[in-house]
Amino acid sequence: MPCFLRGAVRARSATYPVSHSRPLEERAGIALFTLVLIIGLAQPLAAHEFKAGDIEIVHPWSRQTPDGAKVAAGYVTLKNEGSEPDRLISATGEIAGKTEVHEMSIDGNGVMTMRPVEGGVEIPAGATVELKPGGLHVMFMDLSRGVKEGETFRGTLTFEKAGAVDVEFDVQAMGSGGGHDGHGG
Ligand SMILES: [Cu+2]
Give residue 185's pLDDT: 34
Of the CA atoms within 13 Å of residue 17, those in its CB half-sphere come to 4
CA dist 39 and 162 (Å) reads 32
How confident is the model at residue 29, as a pLDDT?
78
Q: What is the pLDDT of residue 36?
A: 67
Compute, in angstroms, the gap from residue 16 CA to the centroid of ligand 1: 65
Q: How far apart are the CA of 4 and the centre of ligand 1, in A?
A: 82
CA 105 – ligand 1 centroid, Å: 10
Ligand 1 center to residue 104 CA distance, Å?
7
Q: pTM (2 decimals)? A: 0.71
Contacts of 184 (CB under 8 A, 6+ apart): 71
Domain boundaries, the chain: 2-44, 47-172
In the chain, how many H helices and how many E strands?
Answer: 2, 11
Q: Class for domain 47-172, per CATH?
A: mainly beta
Rounded average pLDDT per 10-residue block, the chain, 185 residues: 47 48 75 67 67 96 96 98 97 98 91 93 98 96 97 98 97 74 40
